[in-house]
Amino acid sequence: MPFHHNDFCRICKGRNLTLFFSLGKMPPSNSFIPKENLGEEKFYPLDVYFCHECKMAQLLDVVEKEEIFSHYTYFSSTSSPLVEHFKLYAEEMQKRFLEPNELVVEIGSNDGVLLQFFKEKNRIVGVEPAENVAKIAAARGINTINSFFNEIIARKILSEYGNAKLMTCNNAFAHIDDIDEIVRGIKTLLADDGVYVFEVKYLPDLINQKQFDMIYHEHLLYYTLRPAIELFKKFGMDVFDVKKVSTHGGSIRVFVCNRGAYPVNDSVKKMLEYEESSGFYDLKTFEKFAADIFEVKKNLVAFVRKLKSEKKRIIGYGAPAKGNTLLGFFEFGPNEIEYITDNTPAKIGLLTPGTHIPVVSNDILKTDTPDYALLLIWNYRDAVLKREEDLRKRGMKFIVMLPKLEVL
Ligand SMILES: [Zn+2]
């Protein structure tokens, strides 16, 4: 079975863990399937645990990484707000940490969406496990190694290119089961005065905004700052700065260095104070979150049933991985949601994992006008409402579910 269950915390190795939110059994969120493979789907528990020692929230049921990441249907460059985000990100890093020609290494570099902006001034290496995605990056001129990142790959890059001044990992830092292995690799490759920067979804935003659909098998780790500090401490490294960024409905950008290489900014202390005073080290906060989400489910299911009883047509708008958590948790299938529109060629023509709703091109909405569209890409809410102004004039309404139910 390409699956295992851990009985310890990934960060502190403690065994005092409590399950606080069970979303049932689901297939991996990005595994859109062709009709002919319907019988072959595998379902795995999607349960979130809280570690009482280091306060990390995490999944303990692990779908092996080869199963999820060897072929991938998420291409970062398909999202234009994300491309703009990475452009500014690269500019900030160059200004703050990099001299021309110094080495930048990205773990989980996807199609090169970030590295493309370093290419002119710096040497770059991307490490990307998905063969189909790595090929696209290489075709765009992004120097890419098609592999999972680990200590061996770190040594290989070291011997070929020397130390990295900047290492980075975006979102993928929440995807890792053996996190110690990754940090050892970073430690191996990073220059003494080098900086490791990662961006991940910030758990307090997930909780505050009720973004439970960000929970899926790829996301093994749900970060607050405190366990991140603890993780790097074990390897003689400091978290020396942190800032909030808006990606994925609220993320943090965390800056890490070898111990003492940079002074620790006040931002670190401030964020720890915020987390503590807001209850993010307390199991009760997480239990309340889970109860709230079951309430959201009850309300939305009742709302959709009512619309269906009035013979209204409902579709889904956008087919992100997180949409599949939501559809699966709400138990919506083709009877509730007729089809889902998306622009990603790799998804069009397939069915959503577990719920089996057909994914079709956005073009269908040029001629078809359903009554309602469930907005699954809520993180692009404003952009979508603007883009689909004509469709709304034709009479289609958007249903926004989170953080509260709205019809727009
Ligand atoms: Zn722990």
Core vs surface per residue 132-144: b (16+ CB within 10 A) or e: ebbebbbeeebbb
List CB contacts of 246: < 8 A, sequence separation 6 or more. 85
Cβ-contact 109, 137 below 8 angstroms: yes
Pair of tokens at residue 407: 């019809």
List CB contacts of 281: < 8 A, sequence separation 6 or more. 55, 224, 226, 275
What is the Å distance from ligand 1's center to 10 Cα?
6
Q: How many whole angstroms from its chain centre is CA 62?
A: 16
For residue range 65-76, list pLDDT tens digits in order: 887 777 776 777
Which has the closest alpha carbon to 110: 66, 168, 154?
Answer: 168
Residue 316: pLDDT over 70: yes
Work out the mean pLDDT of the chain and round it to a whole number.
95
What does DSSP say about strands 190-201 and 164-170: parallel, antiparallel, or unpaired? parallel
Cβ-contact 257, 231 below 8 angstroms: no
pTM of the model: 0.93
d(CA 384, CA 374) in angstroms, rounded, equals 12
Q: What is the mean pLDDT of residues 77-81?
A: 79
Predicted pLDDT of residue 70: 74
Q: What is the mean pLDDT of residues 101-129?
A: 97
Pair of tokens at residue 112: 């090169």
What is the Å distance from ligand 1's center to 74 Cα?
30
What is the Å distance from ligand 1's center to 121 Cα?
40
What is the Å distance from ligand 1's center to 14 Cα?
5
Place of tokens 């120097």: 143
For residue range 242-254, list pLDDT tens digits in order: 999 999 889 999 9
Cβ-contact 250, 235 below 8 angstroms: no
What is the Å distance from ligand 1's center to 9 Cα?
5
Predicted pLDDT of residue 119: 96
For residue range 358-406, list pLDDT tens digits in order: 999 999 999 999 999 999 999 889 999 999 999 999 999 999 988 889 9
d(CA 115, CA 394) in angstroms, rounded, equals 41
d(CA 235, CA 229) in angstroms, rounded, equals 10
Residue 79: pLDDT over 80: no
What is the Å distance from ligand 1's center to 213 Cα?
23
Give the chain's end-to-end CA distance (angstroms, integer): 44
pLDDT band of residue 40 (cuts 50, 70, 90) is confident
Place of tokens 């995605």: 133
Pair of tokens at residue 21: 């939110």
What does DSSP say about strands 397-400 and 372-375: parallel, antiparallel, or unpaired? parallel
